[in-house]
Amino acid sequence: MTLIKCTSEHLPELQSISRETFTETFKEQNSPEHLNAYLEKAYNQQQLALELANPDSQFYFVYRDVEVAGYLKVNIGETQSEEMGDDSLEVERIYVKKKFHKQGFGKILLAKAFDVATELGKKKVWLGVWEENENAIAFYKKKGFVQTGAHPFYMGDDKQIDLIMTKTL
């Protein structure tokens, strides 16, 4: 396993894994229309290029040999999707390809988020997780996160609820 920080050179690969992992994770519970609308909005090249260029956001790939197995996106400051304060780091995206589930890649990516938070002097790490994603919720609870709130998440025009989970470092 290898972990690297993404740069603008990784844009095509980032777009590919973003679309693939999001689709694998949510296609069964959402209509193709809502899923495709979200993919086009969140994972088009222009949007991802802006996110990669933002100094308050960082992306990381985790590899199994030469294949990207998953990725992480963390945010600080005003790039956080909720106002959580300057002492917080948001894990906005943490996805692993389905064929690599249960092999420790999620743990590696989450550990990287904790490392980045510590390096930046943050006291809390938080994330939003879909209220129906029971496996992810269980994983985060096991890692010490507790539910501290909720916020809406739109899949196309379908309003869903993400639980806000926080871990104090």
Task: Identify the helix (H) or strand (E) that includes residue 118.
Answer: helix 105-119
Mean pLDDT of 80-85: 93
Q: Which residues are registered as beta bridge partners of 74?
A: 58, 91
103 touches 78 (CB < 8 A): no
Determine whether 109 is exposed, middle or buried from the number of CB atoms within 10 Å of its CB (0-12, 13-18, 19+).
Answer: buried
- pLDDT band at 158, cuts 50/70/90? confident
- pLDDT band at 27, cuts 50/70/90? very high
How do residues 103-118 score in pLDDT, each as one tens digit? 999 999 999 999 999 9
Residues near 11 by beta carbon (within 8 Å), at least 6 away in sequence: 45, 48, 49, 52
Task: Identify the helix (H) or strand (E) that includes residue 154.
Answer: strand 146-155
Mean pLDDT of 130-147: 95
pLDDT, mean over the chain: 96
Residue 85 and residue 78: Cα distance in Å, rounded? 9
Residue 103 and residue 88: Cα distance in Å, rounded? 28
Mean pLDDT of 43-63: 97
The predicted pLDDT at position 155 comes to: 86
The predicted pLDDT at position 3 comes to: 97
pLDDT surpasses 90 at 7 = yes
The predicted pLDDT at position 103 comes to: 96
Nearest to 106 by CA among 148, 140, 59: 140
pLDDT surpasses 90 at 156 = no
Nearest to 127 by CA among 115, 153, 145, 104: 145
- pLDDT band at 157, cuts 50/70/90? confident
AA identity, residue 64: R
pTM: 0.94
Active site residues: 140
The predicted pLDDT at position 116 comes to: 98
Residue 138 and residue 123: Cα distance in Å, rounded? 22
- pLDDT band at 165, cuts 50/70/90? very high
AA identity, residue 46: Q
Beta strand extents in 16-103 (DSSP E only): 57-64, 67-75, 88-96
